[in-house]
A and B are shown apart, each in its own frame.
Chain A
């Protein structure tokens, strides 16, 4: 009987101690949780500040881009009514190997250079159509192909200067484009 009373006493005391310890543990956890939440809040505040900064930077970049575009537009030559634009290009041509005289070599190289200058003017005025194709096999490039195509009709092109040196002929060509050429 005595032992049973003592045992029950011991049990009750131990349970009391255990409750006390639990209480103290939960308080520590609360403190920790509060500290962590405070840290998270700080981090959130920092992140918000950073996002605001990034947003400001993006807005600045956009404004700069818009300014650049506006300046580019103002610098870009636009063909206006009753006005004309000069477009010049340099073409290069080489004489064939089997020419009978230097004069023939010059004439043939000049012809080739004229064609090249025409091509260059056509590229500037009408633009170039470009197609690209790469074949990759086993992570290696097998074949890389670039195709360009230009098509135009060119009138009244003038040869400004012609030079012929070491078999290479260079022709400087100029064309005047007026608004009336396009307005139909």
Chain B
């Protein structure tokens, strides 16, 4: 049935479809790994690797985190803009700790490695923010 003010229902539906498809198009899955090494209580090396997943990941999104962005669709750029917050969030997710210490003739050398194993994240890009959540 046609309504009095034209074909508004159809228009609304069309808009909803366009909106949803735009949302789904801007969502993606990324593989992120993080590692940093501390030698003799001094930071030695820090690596954050981000790459788009080439295969679909399984699992449900867990702890969600929002990063502020200025409309960028590049996750590396968004993360580098909010690096401190993102690393804090990664710490909260959980890190593997490996510590080795060798004392030879009373001289001590220590190495501590903190690792986030490669994890698949669901990332939703929006106009001013990016929603990111690990899939488990």
Contact = CB atoms under 8 A, between A and B. Distances in A.
A58 interface: no
A133 B68 CA distance: 53
Contacts of A111: 36, 38, 43, 46
A183 to B, nearest CB: 18
A108 B112 CA distance: 14
Q: A interface, how many residues as a size bin?
A: 20 to 34
A156 B95 contact: no
A146 B103 contact: yes
A3 to B, nearest CB: 99
B47 to A, nearest CB: 13
A148 interface: yes
B36 A153 contact: no
Given A114-B91, A144-B104, A157-B91, A152 B97 contact: yes
Contacts of B98: 150-151
Contacts of A122: 97, 99
B94 A115 contact: no
A149 interface: yes
Contacts of B91: 114, 157
Q: B interface, how many residues as a size bin?
A: 20 to 34
A118 B41 contact: no
B92 interface: yes
Given A93-B42, A144-B106, A151 B97 contact: yes
Given A93-B38, A111-B38, A111-B46, A146 B102 contact: yes
A156 B95 CA distance: 9
Interface in B95-115: 95-106, 112, 114
A184 to B, nearest CB: 15
Nearest to B115: A153
Most chain B CB inside 10 Å of its own CB: which residue of A92, A95, A149: A149
A80 interface: no
A90 to B, nearest CB: 12
Contact of A155 (B93, B99, B102, B103): B93
Contacts of A107: 84
A111 B101 CA distance: 19
Given A145-B102, A145-B103, A147-B100, A116 B92 contact: no
A153 B46 CA distance: 18
A154 interface: yes
Contacts of A144: 103-106
Nearest to A169: B41
Most chain A CB inside 10 Å of its own CB: which residue of B42, B92, B103, B104: B42
Given A93-B38, A143-B104, A144-B104, A119 B99 contact: yes
B105 A143 contact: yes
**Top 3 nearest A-B pairs by Cβ distance?**
A155-B94, A150-B99, A115-B38
5 contacts: A92-B41, A93-B38, A123-B99, A147-B103, A155-B94
Interface of B: 36, 38, 41-43, 46, 84, 91-106, 112, 114
